């Protein structure tokens, strides 16, 4: 895995944005794997600005998001809404090409990704417990898209996006670890001291106790950390 450490999250966002824009220009019908959470927000903002300033065309781009909540009655708290607000509303993407996994038929998601030609560039954050997508510790490395019960830790971590912890959905549907590993290139963003332990474990020998550690078995992964997130390496 390549490791890039920068002083602050804004420098990381610039680098990630460059990767996205370069791909979209080189391959106008590229397939992007997208993440939610706070980690990629600045990268999406820069992507929006760059797309506007340089007229970058997303009309033939396809996206597959990593995960979505289940049993969540509120569109405003969904990851679909998150992506609309942070990216899709602000670029000329065709909504029909934007995909989220569905609880009714998780397996179809892997098939749909394959049918689209596979993910060219996958963006990832990392949970404080080492999860990627919603693949919690001890998820099998060979997992495909599936429904998960979220851990207490993840529910607590994500409560900041909800009115109260009671409103955080207890289940989600997520790309599996093998689904993620099929992406041709993967970028993982980790910022802040609360990610330092997970980042350290990610660079240890691959183990299902740290889902992100599977990434060292992939040939084209770049990890972008700020100083705090990389402090234990
Ligand atoms: C969430 C998401 C992950 C995300 C992670 C980190 O649970 N399902 O895809 O990477 O948590 O979130 P953040 O970037 O807000 O720290």
**Backbone conformation region of residue 33, classed left if phi is above 0, alpha if psi is from -120 to 50, else beta:** beta
Model confidence pLDDT, tens digit, residues 60-89: 999 999 999 998 778 888 999 999 999 999
pLDDT bracket for residue 15 (50, 70, 90) = very high
136 is catalytic: yes
Q: Which H, E and C letters describe 80-143, residue by residue? A: HHHHHHHCHHHCCCCHHHEECCCCCCHHHHHHHHHHCCCCCEEEECCCCCCCECCECCCCCCCC
- Point out the catalytic residue in the list 65, 86, 129, 135: 129
pTM of the model: 0.96
202 Cα to the center of ligand 1, angstroms? 15
146 is catalytic: no
Candidate of 43, 123, 126, 171 to mutate for ligand 1, largest count of ligand atoms within 8 Å of Cβ = 126
- Point out the catalytic residue in the list 65, 67, 86, 110: 67
Model confidence pLDDT, tens digit, residues 88-126: 999 999 999 999 999 999 999 999 999 999 999 999 999
The mean pLDDT value for 144-151 works out to 95
Q: Is 177 helix (H, G, I), strand (E, B) or coil?
A: helix
């Amino acid at each position: 895995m390549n490791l890039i450490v920068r002083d602050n999250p804004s420098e990381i966002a610039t680098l990630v944005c460059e990767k996205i824009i370069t791909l979209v220009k080189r391959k106008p019908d590229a397939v992007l794997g997208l993440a939610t959470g706070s980690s990629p927000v600045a990268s999406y903002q820069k992507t929006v600005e760059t797309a506007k300033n340089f007229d970058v065309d997303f009309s033939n781009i396809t996206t597959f998001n990593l995960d979505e909540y289940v049993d969540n009655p509120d569109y405003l708290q969904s990851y679909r809404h998150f992506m609309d607000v942070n990216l899709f509303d602000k670029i000329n993407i065709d909504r029909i090409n934007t995909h989220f996994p569905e609880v009714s038929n998780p397996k179809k998601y892997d098939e749909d990704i394959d049918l689209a030609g596979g993910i060219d560039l996958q963006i990832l954050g990392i949970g404080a417990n080492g999860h990627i997508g919603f693949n919690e510790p001890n998820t099998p490395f060979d997992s495909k898209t599936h429904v998960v019960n979220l851990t207490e830790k993840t529910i607590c971590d994500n409560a900041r996006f909800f009115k109260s912890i009671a409103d955080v959905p207890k289940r989600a549907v997520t790309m599996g670890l093998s689904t993620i590993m099929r992406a041709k290139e993967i970028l993982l963003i980790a910022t802040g001291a609360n990610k330092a332990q997970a980042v350290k474990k990610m660079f240890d020998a691959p183990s299902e106790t740290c889902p992100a550690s599977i990434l060292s078995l992939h040939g084209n992964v770049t990890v972008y950390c700020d100083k705090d997130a990389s402090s234990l390496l």
